[in-house]
Amino acid sequence: MKSSPYENNPYTSSSEAPTQPLPPAPSLPAGRGEAVLALLLALLAAFTANSLLYGGLALGSALGIFGIFTVTALYLLIKSKHFGWYPLSCLAFSLILVASFARSSDGFVKFCLLLLALTAYFLGLSQIVWAPLYPAGRLRSLNGAGRALFLAPYPQISPAVRGLFVKQTPEGTQRRRVGGVLLGLLLAIPALAIILPLLVRSDAAFEGLIGRSVLANAAELIPTVLFGLMLFLPAYARPVALIHDDPEPSPAKPGRFPPVTLHTFLGAVSFVYLLYLFSQLAYFFSAFRGILPEGYTQAEYARRGFFEMCVLFSINLLMVIIAIGQVRREPKTPWLTKALCLFILVFSLVLAVCSASKMGMYIGAYGLTRLRVLTSVFMVCVAVALVCVAIWILAPRFPYMQIVVLAVLAVGCFTGWMDVDTQVARYNVDAYLSGQLTTVDVDHLGGLSEGAVPQLARLLEAPDPQVQAEARAALADMLREHYRVDWENGAIVLEPWEEPLLRSWTWTQSQALPLLEALAPKLQAELQE
């Protein structure tokens, strides 16, 4: 009789089955430097989370993000040997951008600057660690920022965090003290959120020692811990993973397209652009002469095709960079390729200059807005990129991407520190009071942040009574946003809706609120409505 395949099988008997322990989960090495990094980042992540949740992008969040950026950068600089000026410049610009959060109260602009700061930060980190893999002067260097943001930290969160708790040795795994400390702090915070309010209510002396604000802030602990944990995990895993992730540079690939294919493609595109340029020549350059084309208002003239042109600039830049990159691997770049690419860049630059001139006409007629300022900033960055790529075509060793990145970061820092809302309000009020603008949009100024308050106060003395009334109404609305208005014996009593906290402090707001308080007696009629 044929024996069963399950007979005499040692794994069929539970009593005799061999026990093979599972291999321990992999963990990234964690020494004394990683322990210090983890403790510092845990504190900074909690502080940043609390500031972002309850103070927004202001002084508190600026200090927290500044600290996270600085600590991680110092860790990588200590662990790595790449101390180039370019990554250090990117990191320095990221810190300057973050510090500008305490300058203004314009949330939208600061959000855009946060994205730019994160890009500069990740680019700097990748260049510190992967400088040989991603040459800084080329478009490919931007891949390092994307890899540092999306690929490196998140799959490595578990191994990086596990390395804080256990250490793998030939004898097995050993527990680390730093992991236990972090876990203890994490578990203590929700417990303290319950215990501290009880202790404050039970004893007056303890209440005087701790402060009454504990009761009000106890509810912030749980959201702070959860959001802080979300910030800490990638913030710690990112630098640790970057240090231990050392990929080999990929071999250079030959050009995929022969020169004749690229010439045909670029020639067809250039021919269409040439026809377009000649058909719209008078229309384009009318802005330089201050002449409005027939059938157009100034708003229609400025807006027509503007956003399409923005997309076109990006396409042309990418197209030229790819084309030159395809033939650059040949011993010598064909002159026809250079000529066609230069024509496309010059055409794009002409369109950018014409668009900027139309925007200048528009601003001269209707004044500034936040969107018009940001649009002008974008046009400056586009012009710099076009010029740098053109120089790169003529001089192959020119580090065009380094110059473009640093120029964009410099423009971003300037934009953040000049306080867009303040400049918009100042320009419009100056233009109106000088007679350059026949009217001023007070409703738009009232919708800006606190940076517009000093300029709205100037309109209280405007020659037009209607403008004065609109300015008083806008200032009254701003005052109500920050203060509860009461009356005692016919006098105005202002009580802040929230206690002023350091985490939500901005320089613009610190200048605007005392001015609003001083203007309250002049706004009595509007406040009583």
CA distance 250 to 75: 27
Q: Is the dihedral of CA 345, 351, 357, 363 positive or negative?
A: negative
Burial label, 381 (beta-carbon count in 10 A; 0-12, 13-18, 19+): middle
What pLDDT sits at residue 417? Answer: 93
> How far apart, in Å, are the Cα atoms of 333 and each of 321, 327, 398?
13, 6, 15
Per-residue pLDDT for 123 more than 60? yes
CA distance 352 to 201: 66
| 234, 239, 243, 247 alpha-carbon torsion, rounded to 10° | 50
Pairing of strands 172-175, 491-496: unpaired
| 244, 247, 249, 250 alpha-carbon torsion, rounded to 10° | -170
Per-residue pLDDT for 261 more than 80? no
Q: How confident is the model at residue 87 (pLDDT cuts 50, 70, 90)?
A: confident
Q: How confident is the model at residue 412 (pLDDT cuts 50, 70, 90)?
A: very high
Max mean pLDDT among 109-118, 320-329, 497-506 falls in: 109-118
What pLDDT sits at residue 301? Answer: 59
What pLDDT sits at residue 306? Answer: 65
What pLDDT sits at residue 22? Answer: 44
Average pLDDT of every residue of the chain: 78
pLDDT tens digits, 17-75: 454 554 455 666 777 788 888 889 988 998 999 899 888 889 999 999 999 999 998 88
What pLDDT sits at residue 453? Answer: 92
Q: How confident is the model at residue 427 (pLDDT cuts 50, 70, 90)?
A: very high
Contact of 84 with 136, CB cutoff 8 Å: yes
Contact of 113 with 411, CB cutoff 8 Å: no
CA distance 411 to 3: 82
Phi and psi, residue 492, nearest 5°: -80, 130
Q: How confident is the model at residue 239 (pLDDT cuts 50, 70, 90)?
A: confident
Q: How confident is the model at residue 517 (pLDDT cuts 50, 70, 90)?
A: confident
Say how many C-beta atoms besides its own lie within 10 A of residue 184's C-beta. Answer: 10
Q: Is the dihedral of CA 453, 455, 461, 463 positive or negative?
A: negative
Closest CA relative to residue 33, chosen from 329, 236, 260, 322: 236
CA distance 422 to 455: 8
| 307, 313, 314, 320 alpha-carbon torsion, rounded to 10° | 160
Q: Is the dihedral of CA 327, 330, 336, 341 positive or negative?
A: positive
Contact of 356 with 362, CB cutoff 8 Å: no
CA distance 481 to 513: 11
pLDDT tens digits, 271-308: 888 888 777 665 555 555 555 555 556 566 566 656 67
pTM over 0.85: no
Closest CA relative to residue 62, chosen from 89, 106, 101: 101
Average pLDDT of the residues in 133-154: 65
Contact of 529 with 473, CB cutoff 8 Å: no
Percentage of the chain exceeding pLDDT 90 = 18
CA distance 57 to 101: 6
The three-state secondary structure class of 492 is strand
What pLDDT sits at residue 413? Answer: 94
Going from N- to C-terminal start, the domains of the chain cover 32-244, 259-418, 421-528
Higher pLDDT residue, 106 or 8? Answer: 106
Per-residue pLDDT for 403 more than 50? yes
Per-residue pLDDT for 200 more than 70? no
pLDDT tens digits, 5-26: 444 544 444 445 454 554 455 6
pLDDT tens digits, 160-180: 777 776 665 545 455 666 666
Contact of 91 with 73, CB cutoff 8 Å: yes
CA distance 334 to 257: 13
Per-residue pLDDT for 362 more than 90? no
Max mean pLDDT among 280-294, 443-457, 485-499 falls in: 443-457
Contact of 137 with 399, CB cutoff 8 Å: yes
**What does R_g of the chain's alpha carbons equal in angstroms?**
31
What pLDDT sits at residue 482? Answer: 86
What pLDDT sits at residue 14? Answer: 47
The three-state secondary structure class of 29 is coil
Tokens representing 367? Answer: 């004044």
Higher pLDDT residue, 2 or 499? Answer: 499
Contact of 412 with 380, CB cutoff 8 Å: no
Per-residue pLDDT for 1 more than 50? no
Average pLDDT of the residues in 411-434: 92
Per-residue pLDDT for 330 more than 90? no
Tally the residues of the chain: 529
Contact of 13 with 162, CB cutoff 8 Å: no
